[in-house]
Amino acid sequence: MKPTVYLVIPCYNEEEVLPETVRQLTQRLSEMQAQGLAGEGSRMLFVDDGSRDGTWRLIESFAGENPLVRGLKLAHNRGHQNALLAGLMEARTCADCAVSLDADLQDDVSVLPQFVQKFLEGCDVVYGVRSSRETDTFFKRATAQGFYRFMKLLGVELVYNHADYRLMSRRALDALAEYREVNLFLRGVVPLIGYRSDYVFYERHERFAGESKYPLRRMLAFALDGITSFSVKPLRLISTLGLLVSAGSVAGLLYALISHFCGHTVAGWTAIVCSIWLLGGVQLLCVGVVGTYVGKIYSEVKARPRYRVEQKTGEDRPQDGRPPLP
């Protein structure tokens, strides 16, 4: 039996690249249908994450012309991870498996049949892993590799050189729906599901058109979210640092007392000022890290909706009779 495959593509201000994306994915999905790797109900689901340009108008236009195109418009910009989750949750009501990929055509669509083939072999999660980072700048390559190594050091289970190019079966999507955290980091959540998984290696291309939606500031924020969402080791490091500073303070106090009683004290402000700045900086850093965790707890406790769907270009009937998710 041919599986129903959904391609889930989050979009934010992608009107420049969207026509080419639709063309290439339509060609690839049609070929997969002809090869028996995708059923007639297979679709491309574009999720508009509150774009400010004509992205949604294009999605509506393509949906009217192309029977393979579906669209989902979020009421507000909620970020790439929430937009991707919205698409996956929509796809799980209709699809046997869903493949998430970026709209900028940097993910190699020619390996899509390999994802589905591994799914047919019994894998619930198939990770797309970059075989090299030659297309990255030196800075981006060094920081990305450093991030993966640092996350491993913190004990976070991540797939090295994997972003969000992955296939998930309906069973895996149902498991993903049980994770309710607001501070979403899918690269860390998906490995926690624990079902049978495999890898597909591919070469990442240059962006076809438009500008990157992940400048340095957003990349750093994304990395910080990943670190603080999946590890408490920074808090333990603060405790260790506090013990070391306390030990150093005790040693300094003993030195000062011994110098005082020996009559070797010298009046000076340099050491005092340096120590004040050092301890003040350490304290502010520690308070900042603790504040980050407290802020995340605050967001989780409020339990606000992670996204709100404003509009759809068309709905497919769920295969198992389940109603579409709100």
Specify whether 23 is located in the same domain as 65. yes
Residue-level pLDDT at 244? 73
Residue 23 lies in a domain: yes
Residue at 132 is within a domain: yes
Do residues 143 and 283 share a domain? no
pLDDT at 264: 62
Rounded-to-integer distance, Cα 288 and Cα 101, Å: 34
Question: Considering the domain boundaries, does residue 253 fall inside one?
Answer: yes
Sort 226 into a burial class: Cβ within 10 Å, 0-12 / 13-18 / 19+: buried
pLDDT for residue 170: 94
d(CA 268, CA 264): 12
Task: Give the Cα separation of 55 and 45 in Å (integer).
Answer: 13
Share of the chain above pLDDT 70, in %: 75
Q: Which is it for the CA torsion 188, 197, 103, 162, positive or negative? A: positive
237-287, pLDDT tens digit by residue? Answer: 776 777 677 667 667 667 666 766 676 656 655 567 567 766 776 777 777
pLDDT at 126: 95
Q: Which residue type sits at 137?
A: T
Residues 200 and 260 in one domain: no
- 27 pLDDT above the threshold of 90: yes
* CATH code of the domain in which 80 resides: 3.90.550.10
Chain centroid offset of residue 186 CA: 5
Q: Please state, as a whole number, how many other Cβ atoms lie within 10 Å of the Cβ of residue 279.
A: 13
When mean pLDDT is compared across 14-23, 100-109, 171-180, 267-276, the lowest value belongs to 267-276
Task: Examine the domain organization and report whether 190 and 243 are in the same domain.
Answer: no
For 67, which DSSP code?
T
User: Does residue 326 lie in a domain region?
Assistant: no
164 lies in the same domain as 293: no
Q: Are residues 92 and 139 in the same domain?
A: yes
Mean of pLDDT values over 60-73: 92
Whole domain around residue 95: which residue ranges? 5-211+306-312
Q: Which residues contact 249 (CB under 8 A, 6 or more apart)?
A: 279
Each residue of 94-152: pLDDT tens digit? 899 999 999 888 888 999 999 999 999 999 999 999 887 776 677 777 777 777 777 77
Identify which of 289, 299, 298, 293 has the alpha carbon closest to the alpha carbon of residue 79: 299
Q: Would 285 be classed as within a structural domain?
A: yes
Say yes or no to pLDDT of 25 above 60.
yes
Mark whether 35 and 112 lie in a shared domain.
yes
Residues 58 and 23 in one domain: yes
Tell me the residue type at 156: V
Q: What is the structure's pLDDT at 311?
A: 87
Average pLDDT over residues 185-190: 85
Would you say residue 320 lies in a domain? no
| Residues 87 and 95 sit within 8 Å (Cβ to Cβ) | no
Task: Give the helix ranges, DSSP H, for the chain.
Answer: 18-34, 55-65, 80-91, 112-120, 138-153, 170-176, 186-193, 216-230, 233-262, 270-302
Q: How many CB atoms lie within 10 A of CB 28?
A: 18
Greater pLDDT, 216 or 44: 44
pLDDT at 302 over 90: no
- Based on the domain organization, do 271 and 175 belong to the same domain? no
Find out whether 204 and 162 touch, Cβ atoms under 8 Å: no
pLDDT for residue 325 is more than 50? no
Residue 223 CB contacts under 8 Å (≥ 6 apart), including other chains: 147
Decide if 293 is inside a domain: yes
- Residue 292 burial (CB < 10 Å; 0-12/13-18/19+)? middle
Query: Residue 326 pLDDT > 50, yes or no?
Result: no
Is the domain of 73 the same as that of 153? yes
Establish if 225 belongs to a structural domain. Answer: no
Residues 181 and 249 in one domain: no
How does residue 301 score in pLDDT terms, banded at 50, 70 and 90?
Answer: confident
Statement to judge: residues 186 and 250 lie in one domain: no
User: How many C-beta atoms surround the C-beta of residue 43 within 10 A?
Assistant: 24
Torsion of the alpha carbons at 220, 82, 92 and 130, rounded to the nearest 10: -20
**Alpha-carbon gap, residue 247 to 243, rounded angstroms:** 6
Mean pLDDT of the 32-56 span: 92
Is the confidence at residue 317, as pLDDT, over 90?
A: no
CA 199 to chain centre: 18
pLDDT above 60: residue 167: yes
Count of domains forming the chain: 2
